[in-house]
Structure 1
Amino acid sequence: MNYSCSRIAIISTFIFSLSGCFDIADIPKLNSSWKVAGATSVNSEQGGFVTDTVATCPVFVKNIAVTSNELPTEFSIADWNIYKQEDDNWRRELTTIIEQNDLIVLQEAKLSFLLHQLMQQHELSWTQVEAFSVYNQSMGVLTASRVAPISVCKQTIVEPWLRFPKSSLVSYYPWAGSDEPLLVANMHMINFTLGVDEFNQQLEGVIAVIRQHDGPVIMAGDFNTWTNKRLNQLHLMTASVELQQLVYQKDVRKTAFGYPLDALYFRGMQQLSASSYETDASDHNPIVARFGPLL
């Protein structure tokens, strides 16, 4: 059975077995370990995004006082679809990732007691977009770091077939390697569609944010690029905002029909290293990369 078919079967079984246990909010919730002074209502919207901060999205308000620590001049980031922590050894694997990286970008993160406890033990500042919840456990993309973000914004889009939201999270971090904040976009792209209209809609929402940002950018996630058409659209739209692809020293990213599903793009910094590695703790393999300022 190929990857996409097996995922559909697993998701379908998951849905039927838990029918009546799901909660999908009309407005996506933002869960976080931090609070922003002067936060606005979750009902405020701009450019298709819902924001909980005084900073608007897609235009970053530059006069916000930066009171948090900065990411170091050279920093590392890990991108991983953690598959709802369903597989064994996820906690051991994630602990290693946390210990070795400054930024952690997760998809399909279930905000369970064990995940919350792990982040608390390592004193991480984290933000999650709740796409939906199961048994009161939030599911969605989650970005974490020992450095608190300056501001965040969020977006969800509904899968046309399964009717479950996919989420995107944009976070701005102070970085010692730049006068401008580092924009980190964490994306779990829409999956089961016949065409690419919804895929393009979700992607363009985040690209619009990046287009308005003058500073450095990282866009990472599970892009579900299992067709040539999807992958080409991703390459075209990232190139339109001058995002570069990683050059991998080792590339064992999860593929479907021969196409890589996970990716990381960047702008306004130099790549120092990048690779992916195999794990049995998820059905996706993590991407790790290290960056520094432009020379």
Structure 2
Amino acid sequence: MQRNDRPQRRLILLLAIAISLLCGRMIAADDAAETNAGEQTLGLEACLKTLHWHSPQGYSGLDPEAIRLVNWNIEKGTNPLWADDLANFLSSTDLITLQEGSPSLPMVNRLSDRYRVSFAEGYTNSYQRTGVMTFSEVEPIAECKLISYEPWLRTPKATLVTRYGLKGTDQTLLVINIHGINFSLGLIELSAQFDDAAALIAAHTGPVVFTGDFNTWHSGRIDLLDRKKTGLGLSALSFDPDYRTRTFGHALDHIYVRGLDALFTASPDLQSSDHNPLIAELRYVTGNTSKKEKP
């Protein structure tokens, strides 16, 4: 059974809205006010410099003919079955992008025997650090992380950026793994978070994967994301089957690509997280990395 529009998720959102109203912290959704990114993120300029200071020379690259990706919000690993479900995909996976991942999970330790591990810390409590994690078959040429904050709870939401070589080409692949701001009535903070990702994509001349849990649970959030990707050459992947977790009818998780064709996509229905994974096999398209918007 598909687990879309879960009552629990609706209840959480409604409770968060009620709390915000009681605290008098409603935020206007005026797009003209979407400017103050500096208060929401750390280190965009440093991130841009880090990504472009490092030369791909001497690094192993991914196979440009078949880049296999799994993206998944694993709900902090609270259901132990997620590790078994992920293991079923690993025989043919080059990149794994997780949200709500934690270095303390046993499966993460096992993955580190095979994959290079990059981690950007988000929410942390006394017993666990969680955030976004990217696992790769090859060592990243460069990596950096950005932090945004939930406007009400002030808890961090991380964006992890990694860059990889592609065998037999002079191009590099930029991978942005994002966990979108969730609890806000307006779009100011989410817009700032997306702006930072857009700046990184605009500065990169090669192929791009922009993926994660975008928390696009409202049409306004989806419209915002569509506006931000305009001019960047990004295309949204579709999935077959498509069991992406939905709230209020809207998918929360996405994979956007530039300069890459999708050979295969799927979002299977699993029971081991409150999100379902996204699976894709991608192929680099020579000369198709311009920033012109695709139809």
Return the TM-score normalized by structure 2.
0.80
- Quote the Cα distance in structure 1 between the aligned partners of 2:263 and 2:168: 14
The answer on 1:58 being equivalent to 2:44 is no
Aligned equivalents of 1:240, 1:49: Cα separation in 2: 24
Number of residue pairs aligned between Structure 1 and Structure 2: 257
Distance 1:164 1:177 in 2: 42
Do residues 2 (structure 1) and 33 (structure 2) align?
A: no
Report the Cα distance in structure 1 between the residues aligned to 2:233 and 2:8, rounded to whole angstroms. 31
Q: Counterpart of 2:253?
A: 262
What amino acid maps onto 1:4 in structure 2?
A: R
| Whole-angstrom distance in 1 between the partners of 2:168 and 2:253 | 26
One-letter amino acid matched to 2:43: V
Runs of 4+ in 1 over 6 A off after TM superposition: none
Which ranges of structure 1 fall in alignment gaps of 5 or more residues?
12-44
Higher helix share: 2
- In 1, are the aligned partners of 2:102 and 2:108 still within 8 Å (CA)? no
Distance 1:10 1:228 in 2: 20
> 1:83–1:283: 8 Å Cα contact kept in structure 2?
yes
Pick closer, same or farther for the CA change 1:180–1:261 going to 2, 3 Å. Answer: same
Give the residue type in structure 2 aligned to 1:58.
L
- What aligned pairs does 1:72-83 form with structure 2 within 5 A after superposition? 72-73=63-64, 74-83=66-75
**Aligned position for 1:95:** 87
Aligned partners of 1:177 and 1:293 also within 8 Å: no
- What amino acid is the match of 2:215? N
* Alignment check: 8 A CA contact 1:3 1:256 kept: no
Residue type of the alignment partner of 1:194: L
Between the aligned residues of both structures, percent identity stands at 32
Shift in Å, 1:65: 4.7
User: TM-score normalised to the size of structure 1?
Assistant: 0.80
Contact 1:178–1:216 (8 Å) recurs in 2: no
Unaligned runs of 5+ in 2: 1-5, 17-37, 287-295
Please report how far the alpha carbon of residue 275 of structure 1 lies from its aligned counterpart in structure 2 after TM superposition. 1.4
Can you list the C-alpha shifts for 1:252-291, whole angstroms capped at 9, x where unaligned? 1000000000000000121111111111110100000111
Equivalent runs, 1:178-193 vs 2, <5 Å:
178-193=169-184
Match of 2:102 among 89, 94, 110: 110
What residue number does 1:37 align with?
none
Shift of 1:224: 0.3
Which residue, out of 147, 170, 190, partners 1:156? 147
Match of 2:162 among 168, 171, 175: 171
1:164-195: per-residue Cα shift (whole Å, max 9, x none)? 10000110011126422100000000000010
Is 1:204 matched with 2:209?
A: no
Residue in structure 2 matching 1:85, options 51, 67, 77: 77
What are the superposed Cα offsets for residues 13-58 of structure 1, whole Å, 9 maximum, x if unpaired? xxxxxxxxxxxxxxxxxxxxxxxxxxxxxxxx9x95438xxx9532
Q: CA deviation at 1:294?
A: 1.4
